[in-house]
Amino acid sequence: MKGKFREFLANHPRVVSALFTLMILLSQVAPVIAGGDGSSGP
């Protein structure tokens, strides 16, 4: 399974960039979805 996925990504570099962009977007939005404002204080 892992080999097929790596082969797919190697053949489709735009998917790699789309997954990377999605990861960055989710890392920015996750605190908002979780209900926090990103601060560590009360």
pLDDT at 29: 87
Q: Chain-wide mean pLDDT for the chain? A: 84
15 close to 8: Cβ distance less than 8 angstroms: yes
pLDDT at 17: 94
pLDDT at 35: 79
Host H or E run for residue 18: helix 13-33
7 close to 16: Cβ distance less than 8 angstroms: no
Host H or E run for residue 4: helix 2-11
Percent of the chain with pLDDT over 70: 83
Backbone angles phi, psi at 12, to 5 degrees: -135, 80
pLDDT at 4: 93
Q: With a cut of 70, say whether residue 26 has pLDDT above it.
A: yes
Q: With a cut of 70, say whether residue 11 has pLDDT above it.
A: yes
